[in-house]
Structure 1
C-alpha cells in the first residue's frame, strides 16, 4: 500500500511540474513577444514559489524511498526494493525539473529586465535628441534676448527674420543628422 501511495504522489508531483513548465513557456513567449507587462512580474515570482514548494514536496519522498530501500528485508521485502528505487528515480526526475524551472524562471526575469533596459535606453536617446534640438534655439534666442547693444544682425531691418531662418535651418540639419543616426 505504501508503494502505491508514494507512486501516486510522485506521479502527481510530476504532473504539477509539467503544468508549471507550461506556465513558464507561456510567460517566456509573452516576454519575447513584448506582451509582458511589468505588472505581471508578480506572476514569475508566484511561479518561482510554486516551483520551490514542488521541490520541497518531492525531495523528502526521494529520501524516504532511499531509506526504505536500505531497510532490513524483514521490514521491506527484497522484491519491493526495485519499486522504491523506481519511485526514487521519478523523484529525481521531478527534482531535475524543478531545478531547470527555477533556473529558467531566473533567466526569464533577467531577460525581461534586459528588454526593459533596452526600451528605456531607446526612450532616453530620443529625449536626448529632442533636448539637443531644443537647446540650439534656446541658446540663440537667449543671447538675442539679453538686449546687448552690439549683436550681429541686431540693427539690421531683416536681422530678426535672418536669425529665425538660420536657427530653423540649424535645427532642421540637426534633426536630419540625429534621425539618420537613429536617435530620433
Structure 2
C-alpha cells in the first residue's frame, strides 16, 4: 500500500513535463505560491499568507502551503512572525548551507534536505561539473507548510500538481507534503547515482581498454570529488529520516509515519550505491596509477636496452680514438670495414637478446 502510493506520486510527478511553475500570487519575488487545501482539494483564488492562514483557522480544517525561493531576511520576516517560527530556524532557512536535519521547535517541525541534479556533459573532463546541489527547508505546523528553495533547480510546481491528483493523501495534512518532498529528494538521489554510474563505467572502460594518458587521472579524481559532493548530500539524511520514521514529532501525522520508512529504504539503497562507487573509483585510480608505473618501467627498460646497444660502438670508437701509433689494424686496408662489421654484429646480437627478453 505504502509503496504503491509512493509510486503513484512519482508517476504523477514524472507525467508533468514542464518543470517551471509560475507564481500564482502577487506576494513578492520570493513567494512562488500560496495555496489553501481543504478536504484534500485546492481552494481557488490567489491568497495572501495572512488571509490564507486566517481562513484556514476559522474553518479549523485544511492547511496552507507557501513556497518561497531564496527569500531575503526582510522578505521572510513577516512570514516568520505570522507563523511564529523560531529565530534559529529562520536564520538557517535564510542563509542556507546547512546539513540535512530535522529539528523540533514547540509545535513546529523544521527539516532541511539537500537537493541534487545531474549535470549533463558530452565528455567527462578534469574540470567537468557532474553534480549540482541545492537545499530545501521545510517548516511544518498543524495547519501550514512553508517550503524554501535554495538553488536553481528543484521546483515544487510539478510535485504540487502531482499531490493535487491524490486528494486522499493531501487529506492527511501538512506532513503528507513533507513526505512527498522527502520522497522526491531521495528519488532524485537515485536518479543521479544511476547517471554517475554511467560516468564511472566510461572511466573504467577507458582505463582498462587501452593505455591511458596522464590526463585520465584528473578525470577520475574530478569524478571522485563530485561523488563526494553527492555523498555529503545523501549520507547525513539517514538520521533525520530515522527520526521521522521511528520517532516522529507531533507535527507528523501517525498515518504518514510508515511512509517515511519507505523513503528511508530508498535512501539506504542510494547510500549503498554511493559507497560502492567510492570504493570502485579508488580501485580504478589505483589501477590507473599501476598502469602508469608499468608504462614507466617499460619505457625505462627500453631506454636501458638502447643505451646498452649504443655503448658498444661508443666503447670501440672510444678505444680507436685514443690516437696511439701502435694499435691493431690501424694501417690495415680492411681495418675500418672490420671495425664497422664488429660493431654491427655486436649491436644486432644485443638487440636480439633484448627483444627475446621483452625489453624491446
TM-score normalised to structure 1 length: 0.91
**1:104 offset after TM fit, Å?**
0.9
- The structure showing larger relative contact order (alpha-carbon pairs under 8 Å, at least 6 residues apart) is 1
Q: Unaligned 5+ residue runs, structure 1?
A: none
**Separation in 1 of the partners of 2:216 and 2:354?**
35
How many Å separate the matches in 2 of 1:104 and 1:43? 14
More displaced stretch, 125-134 vs 62-71: 62-71
Query: Which structure shows the higher strand fraction?
Result: 2
Q: Which residue of 1 aligns with 2:162?
A: none
CA RMSD of aligned residues (A): 1.8
Superposed counterparts of 1:92-131, under 5 Å: 92-131=268-307
Q: 1:4 aligns with which of 148, 158, 180?
A: 180
Higher mean C-alpha deviation, range 152-161 or range 93-102:
152-161
Q: C-alpha displacement at 1:59, in angstroms?
A: 2.1
Match of 2:224 among 48, 67, 71: 48
1: distance between equivalents of 2:262 and 2:320?
87
What pairs up with 1:19-168 in 2 under 5 angstroms?
Answer: 19-34=195-210, 36-71=212-247, 74-168=250-344
How many angstroms apart in 2 are the aligned matches of 1:37 and 1:162? 46
Structure 1 residues 66 and 162, CA, compared in 2 at 3 Å: closer, same or farther? same
TM-score normalised per structure 2: 0.48
> 2: CA distance between counterparts of 1:155 and 1:68?
102
Give the direction of change, closer, same or farther, for the CA distance of 1:71–1:183 in structure 2 (3 Å limit). Answer: closer
Shift of 1:128: 1.2
Alpha-carbon displacement from aligned partner over 1:59-78 (angstroms, at most 9, x marks no partner): 23222111123435743333
Shift of 1:167: 1.7
- Which is helix-richer, 1 or 2? 1
> Which sections of structure 2, spanning at least 5 residues, go unmatched?
1-176
| Partner Cα separation in structure 2 for residue 154 and residue 76 of structure 1 | 105
Could you give the per-residue CA deviations for residues 83-119 of structure 1, whole angstroms, max 9, x where no partner exists? Answer: 1111111111111111111111111111111111222
Alignment correspondent of 1:13? 189
